[in-house]
Structure 1
Amino acid sequence: MSETPEVPPAASAAEELLPTTRRALLHRLARAQAEGRTPSMVGAVVRDGATVWTSGRSMMEGHGPDGDTQYRIGSLTKTFVAVLVMRLRDEGLLDLADPLGLHLPDTEPARATIAQLLAHTSGLAAETPGPWWERTSGELRPELADLLGAAPMKHPAGRVHHYSNPGFALLGALVEKLRGKPWGDVLRAEVLEPLGMTRTTLLPQAPHAGGWAVHPWADVMQPEPLHDTGRMAPAGQLWSTADDLCRWAVFLAGGDERVLSAATVAEMRTPAAAPAGEDWDPGYGLGVQLLRRDGRPLAGHTGSMPGFLATLWVSVEDGVGAVVLTNATSGPQVASVAADLLAIVADNEPRFPEPWRPRSAADPALLALTGPWYWGTTPFVLRLGAERDVELTALDGRGRGARFRAERDGTWTGLDGYYAGETLRVVRGDDGEVRHLDLGSFVFTREPYDEAAGVPGGVDPEGWR
């Protein structure tokens, strides 16, 4: 078995991984390649915006893959298409609530929204009508209608999460319609070039791995066919490298103003389809897979095409991402391997918190709002965040807390949990003094059921007794 020497990290010496961490990473990759019986495997880890580890394992002596070897990345392609759609949204060329038919008339599912297509809740079929699109030429399906068949809807739109490859083919067609050019050209100009991803392409470019099927009951292989999937390409056509996907991991964790803002990328990572399950808790955002592995939230995507498997995960909280690519149709559990590589770094070399520093100044009116508040008899505490943002937290940890973003009109908008999108405002009396906080009609008072605060329904005149 050939092993590619570990690639020196792009980070400074102060940011390099410890030798014990590097050995643990290499051991996990080697075990995955051997146990998964795959011709080759390459793994990479990015931390705080820099690639800190890359290595590959191969069955062929002298031919170990490196960070510049292309592999087909399958459904990881969907994250790129989703970014193109979100760019159109941010430019005002579409709304996520728009029905598809508004932009692609006479195309099913006309009533499903763009957001539903991104989150796989459109109700569309998982696959195209036969033959198997991943192993046949896209020339067999020259029109959009050829991707859907006679009865494409399997569920009512918006009702359930049902993964749909044709749904992303439609999103690719949407990009082409609104940009007036092939989606691959749009991707290269608007995303790949700005991010320096020169080795991510629609068709393979040397050096690239070949795709193989490994016999399930014998150590023999045969090559998988390679086809341009045509109109289905937005569902899984792209080829990329570990080096390029490390750049993509950095982008998915923090955005890049040349492509998408950090706020829009965070929106993509927000659950749009209800999660389910125990350990992994899989869910889906807007073109981004979500899961919770051993309590750690991860975002990214898995991918598979005949002859190839791929996974990219990022942990925003840890500042770590991991990529695993391999050239076998099935066998190695690359989603678990990538999650393990990420965890090895995050657990063995946890991120140092930023040092605490006092604020340079605080608005006295804001400062006066901090401290305890009561929703009925439940105690909460209001704290100042960055700038003028605030956080409302139940003191026993069981209430509906949330972070709030300050707005120009003096109100705040909920960012997470039950109050996401809801408005928090200060209610003052005729004398200008604060009477209570109003949060989506819920009243928070300085004392439990403060009779001077205008509690809805009034307060018993005899008070507490």
Structure 2
Amino acid sequence: MSSHRLPTALAAAILLTLPSDAVAQDRAAFPAALDVFARRALDRTEAVPGMSVAVVDGQGAVHTAGYGVADVETGAPVDADTRFYIASATKSVTALAIAALAARGEVDLEAPLSRWAPASGVAPDIAARVTLTDLLSHRSGVDNAPISFRAAFSGEWTPEIMWRLTDRTAPLEDGGAGDFAYSNAGYNLATVLLEHERGQDWRALVQAEVLGPLGMDRTTAFIDEARADGGRVAAGHLGLEPGGATRSPLQKTDATMQSAGGLISTAGDMALWLEAQINDGQVGGRQVLPRGLVTSTHLSRVAQDTTFGDYSRTGYGLGWQVGRYRDDVLIHHFGNFSGSRAHVSFMPERRLGVAVMVNEDAVAGELADLVANYAYDWFVGLPDIEAVYDAKLDELVVRRDRRRAGLAAGRAVRAQRPRTLSRPNAAYVGDYVSPAYGVMSVREDGEGLRLSIGVQGAPAENFTDPESVRVELTPLSGQVVVFRMDAEGRPVSLVYDGESFFRRP
């Protein structure tokens, strides 16, 4: 195994029958190899400031480590205890917590919403057919954009507002019931309903059912508290320019940490999480979660036929993508948001798992996948692995440069657009209200305008339509805002993301 020159299929067969001393030798040799590659990868890609890695097998953690810096403004180094935002990889934690309730008979995953949440605003025809399993496996055929927007983006919500907005649950325009259609809405709607019926929000639920029992003491949904307590929390970054990355203008807050993407975690805690996945709820040789509970979430509940990078995807369980990497089954979930990227995966047959978290996702976020693949390929004995992965790093650098050039070209084109607003900037200033989405504020910002909603805010750019601007409230995700004028040519409302916001008097 130490030569790493065996044919892949043969190496895979040998790995499953290796004597214990050979396994121990590989476990001992791997950390040094990963350290060298991880540092080389950060240096080579240049855009990613920091990275945290956990590699686990059936015996527990093989290696946990941090590399680079958590925040370019402070220079704080990353170590195995640095917290990174795991974004949508949160879904597997939320789903397991709900599955734990179901295992005790406290909820029924297969019961329609109408049976246990009859007072919600969900339309009767939807409530009569949609179950928790449907919502958690993305096969419900419904969406609720206002709830998802407030939970993940603006942060303008209360439990009362979210309960009221359950009446905005609607069928998807494309994709029917039973079809896989990925979104945050299923998780957000499920936890809004459960909170109302049980009096326990999703954060308390995952703490009680998952994080506490597994000993994941440094994993939390309270990112503001973690920062205030002096904990090292990696900031999201954008590597848009050569020479390094800059802090993303949009960082997560407690208000935008939500059940579909709302946890920060460390390499050490992700090692515990993966150990529990590989060993069906056992951690450190102790059965922490009921036998069969964890593996029940790995079972596919809906089919799909897609690829994501080097991974095929054939189904989705409860919070987990089901697919393959090369010849191996790979249960996985990734996540990204505004400069953060997480890769969490494991091979159940090999009993090997990897978590990689990086703090950049504009031009080189897939470095997380590349490092994870290196770990898997190292243990399978990929021939000439260092040369293979040097070539993969070269390919990533090419993609990085292409993306930087494309983003720069887009900015240059937008900078040449003429202004299409007919009135002076001051005429558009005000607060515009949508009962579903909240309050969009328009303010003067130097010679231009600045738009904000909740924790999001960004300068407006000129756009091509009459009375319109473009704004990136979420970095690199531009949307058009169109002002509507009255008979006297005064702005009285605006349209954002298809929703009308009416100007306060």
TM-score relative to the length of structure 2? 0.60
Tell me if 1:280 matches 2:311: yes
Aligned to 1:80: 93
Q: 1:131 to 1:274 in 2, by over 3 A?
A: closer
Q: 1:308 to 1:16 in 2, by over 3 A?
A: farther
Amino acid at match of 2:49: P
Q: 1:196 to 1:345 in 2, by over 3 A?
A: farther
1 CA distance for matches of 2:38 and 2:278?
Answer: 23
Q: Match for 1:38 among 48, 52, 58?
A: 48
Tell me if 1:200 matches 2:231: no
Q: What is the CA deviation profile of residues 154-210 of structure 1, one whole-angstrom value per residue up to 9, with x for unaligned ones? A: 356533110120110122224424542222122212221111110011123212112
Aligned to 1:212: 237
Amino acid at match of 1:52: V
2:114 alignment partner, SS class? helix
User: Quick one: higher RCO (CA 8 Å, sep 6+), 1 or 2?
Assistant: 2
Give the gaps of 5 or more residues in structure 1. Answer: 1-11, 350-465
Query: Kindly, what percent of the aligned residue pairs are identical?
Result: 28
Tell me if 1:116 matches 2:134: yes
How far the C-alpha of 1:252 sits from its partner, in A, is 1.7
1:275 alignment partner, SS class? strand
Aligned to 1:54: 64
Q: 1:167 to 1:229 in 2, by over 3 A?
A: farther
1:144 touches 1:170 (CA, 8 Å); kept in 2? no
2 CA distance for matches of 1:131 and 1:94?
Answer: 27
Tell me if 1:337 matches 2:370: yes
Amino acid at match of 2:200: K
The within-5 A match list for 1:430-445 is none
Q: 1:299 to 1:148 in 2, by over 3 A?
A: farther
1:81 touches 1:171 (CA, 8 Å); kept in 2? no
- Decide which moves more: 239-248 or 254-263: 254-263
Q: Match for 2:105 among 87, 92, 99?
A: 92
Q: 1:164 to 1:144 in 2, by over 3 A?
A: farther
2:86 touches 2:261 (CA, 8 Å); kept in 1? yes
- Decide which moves more: 180-189 or 223-232: 223-232
Tell me if 1:101 matches 2:110: no
Amino acid at match of 1:208: V
Structure 1 or 2: larger strand share? 2
Tell me if 1:327 matches 2:359: yes
The within-5 A match list for 1:420-439 is none
- Decide which moves more: 178-187 or 252-261: 252-261
How far the C-alpha of 1:53 sits from its partner, in A, is 1.2
Aligned to 2:17: none
Amino acid at match of 2:361: T
Aligned to 1:381: none
Tell me if 1:162 matches 2:181: yes
Tell me if 1:24 matches 2:33: yes
How far the C-alpha of 1:248 sits from its partner, in A, is 0.5
Q: 1:129 to 1:191 in 2, by over 3 A?
A: closer
Aligned to 2:340: 308
Amino acid at match of 1:41: M
The within-5 A match list for 1:142-161 is 142-146=161-165, 149=168, 151=170, 153-155=172-174, 157-161=176-180
Q: What is the CA deviation profile of residues 230-250 of structure 1, one whole-angstrom value per residue up to 9, with x for unaligned ones? A: 487101111111100110011
2 CA distance for matches of 1:220 and 1:339?
Answer: 22
Tell me if 1:346 matches 2:379: yes
1:296 touches 1:315 (CA, 8 Å); kept in 2? yes
Q: Match for 1:173 among 178, 183, 192?
A: 192
Q: 1:231 to 1:29 in 2, by over 3 A?
A: closer
Could you say what the CA RMSD is over the residues aligned between the two structures, in angstroms?
Answer: 3.3
TM-score relative to the length of structure 1? 0.65
Q: What is the CA deviation profile of residues 264-307 of structure 1, one whole-angstrom value per residue up to 9, with x for unaligned ones? A: 32221112221314662213111111220101111131111223
2:155 touches 2:256 (CA, 8 Å); kept in 1? no
- Decide which moves more: 128-137 or 218-227: 128-137
2 CA distance for matches of 1:82 and 1:210?
Answer: 26
Tell me if 1:264 matches 2:289: no
How far the C-alpha of 1:92 sits from its partner, in A, is 1.4
Q: 1:103 to 1:56 in 2, by over 3 A?
A: same
1 CA distance for matches of 2:114 and 2:257?
Answer: 19
Q: Match for 1:295 among 322, 327, 345?
A: 327
Give the gaps of 5 or more residues in structure 2. Answer: 1-20, 383-505
How far the C-alpha of 1:87 sits from its partner, in A, is 1.1
Larger radius of gyration: 1
2:349 alignment partner, SS class? coil
Structure 1 or 2: larger helix share? 2
